[in-house]
Amino acid sequence: MNTSRLRGFVAVLFINTSRLRGFVAALFVCMSGSVLAATQLVPVLTDLSSPTAVTNAGDGSQRLFVVEQAGDILVRQPQSFTTTVFLDIRGKVMAGGERGLLGLAFHPDYSTNGRFFVYYTRAGDGAIVISEYRVSPKPDVADASERILLTIPHPTNANHNGGILAFGPDRFLYIGVGDGGSANDPPDNAQNIDTLLGKILRIDVDHADAVAGTPYAVPADNPFAKGAGRDEIFAYGFRNPWRFSFDRVTGVQWVGDVGQNAREEVDMPIVRGGNYGWRVYEGFACTGNDLTLCDPSKYRLPIFDYDHSGGRCSVTGGYVYRGAQDTLPGGTYVYGDYCSGEIFAWDGTTQSLLLRTPLNISSFGEDEQGELYVVGLGGTVSRLAAASCTYAISPVRETFPKDGGAASVAVATAPECAWTAQSDAPWISITGGAAGVGSGTVNYTVEPYAGKAKTRSATITVAGQSLVVRQTRLRPLIRR
Ligand SMILES: [Ca+2]
Ligand SMILES: [Ca+2]
């Protein structure tokens, strides 16, 4: 097994929209136990170039921001199927394999201060860079001026760069840094508190530290802020914490730490000064790298892990679902595997297969409402949605006089739900809204009637519902 768990990153798979639509997978082949509501992936963007992340600005604009590995950040307006360039730093970024522009986080006060932060590997030497940018006077375009906050040398190997940064509920910026690469962490970086590799860092971007000469400050209660150890470290013992998130209700941090040849793990809660085990442990398993150190009481072992059966190879940490659309039960943690394309759900007790996809899942993300998105490195962002669409139409019957006329029927459904309208009679014509997505209106006309029978009737099928249309040659008109 290749030591690089995200090695497939170099592969670019173009997954077309029709394949995505085929995901309406009512597959509940559980790894064990629980039954979840049916979900599907609804394509949102399909023409991206190696997207690595999706997030929102938290500014009420409802925009999505997509990170492309080569160094672009794209912005997507609500309901749009296209993007425009928000920031282009391709010239600064070394991209390919596990490297590139990997993370993006907006300041909690972005709507007033316009500050945001990126995580990338630097052209030339592959160092990890955390830097700050700001929006320009135009809300959909960033100012290109960079303010570098932190640079972490990563010279030896191309893999295990980490790649995530996000603000915690304490308004500090958390950063997930890989162990420096290779296999079995040869320098033992993750257990070494004198290096920033193999760590979750926490910094205060709202204050500088004049004494240390850093453009950020270290929170006073960081575990090694006083005495031995690098001040920026919040927790340690990680191999490649590629993705983490904070539960927007509880504030608890969940980390997907990519494993080596055996176990993929999710860690929660992440606590100040916690030692999460690598390279002594991989998931719950003692690695044998430091056999005498294996003592589970001395480490924070995962909340759960899984093995490499079924083509699984690399966990992509996700989010605790807190959306309003009841896509999943609130509190469900959603995550996936980069290689198998499976999306999983953890309900606090068991891991379940939620959806099987053909994607190389590079990331998950949230919109401002807490709905979840899945990023496929092949070029897609899709929203996780409930699979079953329900529709209501109004009215459900209509009567016309012998001269015919025009009328409309309203369709009510969820924004991602598609529908069509057809008449089963040649004397009824659909004049508008023969197809739609989300709530809408169908317009139609009825031709004059010169037949011998008192009445005729037909059906317009709208979103699978029946609108019965009746027409009479009798006068006076039957009350409509
Ligand atoms: Ca220290
Ligand atoms: Ca661990």
Ligand nearest to the CA of 239: 2
- Is residue 182 over pLDDT 90? yes
| Pairwise CA distance, residues 206 & 293, whole Å | 39
How much distance in Å is there from the Cα of 180 to the middle of ligand 1?
Answer: 21
Give pLDDT tens digits for 351-410.
998 888 999 999 999 999 999 999 999 999 999 998 777 899 999 999 999 999 999 999
Q: What is the mean pLDDT of the chain?
A: 90
Class of domain 392-472: mainly beta
Q: What percentage of the chain carries pLDDT values higher than 90?
A: 83
pLDDT band at 188 (very low <50, low <70, confident <90, very high): very high
Extents of the domains making up the chain: 7-386, 392-472
**Burial, 188: exposed, middle or buried (Cβ in 10 Å; 0-12, 13-18, 19+)?**
middle
End-to-end Cα distance, the chain: 73
| Per-residue model confidence (pLDDT) at position 416 | 55
- Please identify which residue in the block is written with the tokens 């010279």: 155
Residue 264 scores a pLDDT above 90: yes
Residue with tokens 């595997």: 337
The answer to whether the CB of 384 falls within 8 A of the CB of 334 is yes
Q: Ligand 2 centre from 237 Cα, in Å?
A: 6
Q: Strand, helix or coil at 48?
A: coil
Among 40-44, 98-102, 202-206, 268-272, the least confident range: 40-44
Cβ(295)–Cβ(330) below 8 Å: no
Residue 383 is which amino acid?
Answer: R
Distance from Cα 52 to the centre of ligand 1, integer Å: 33
Q: What angle do CA 23, 25, 27 make, to 5 degrees?
A: 150
User: Would you say residue 2 has pLDDT above 80?
Assistant: no
CA of 186 to the centre of ligand 1 (A): 23
Please indicate, yes or no, whether the overall pTM of this predicted structure exceeds 0.85: no
The average pLDDT across 109-135 equals: 98
Question: Helix, strand, coil proportions of the chain in percent (round to 5)?
Answer: 5, 40, 55
Q: Which ligand is closest to the CA of 220, given by its number?
A: 1
Ligand nearest to the CA of 240: 2
Q: How many Å apart are CA 43 and CA 241, to the nearest integer?
A: 27
Q: Which ligand is nearest to the CA of 227?
A: 1
Q: Is 342 exposed, middle or buried (0-12, 13-18, 19+ CB in 10 A)?
A: buried
Does 426 score more than 70 pLDDT? Answer: yes
d(CA 334, CA 340): 15
19-47 pLDDT, tens digit per residue, is: 333 333 322 333 433 335 578 899 999 99
Q: Identify the pLDDT of residue 129.
A: 98
* CA–centroid distance, residue 117 to ligand 2 (Å): 27
CA 374 – ligand 2 centroid, Å: 24
Domain 7-386: which CATH class? Answer: mainly beta
pLDDT digits (tens, 9 = 90+) for 464-480: 999 999 999 876 555 55
Ligand nearest to the CA of 235: 2
Three-class secondary structure of residue 21 per DSSP: helix
pLDDT(437) > 80: no
Q: How far is the CA of 218 from the centre of ligand 1 (A)?
A: 10
CB 201 within 8 A of CB 177: yes
Within 10 angstroms of residue 349's Cβ, the number of other Cβ atoms is: 10
Ligand closest to 279 (CA) is 2
* Shortest-distance ligand to the CA of residue 284: 2
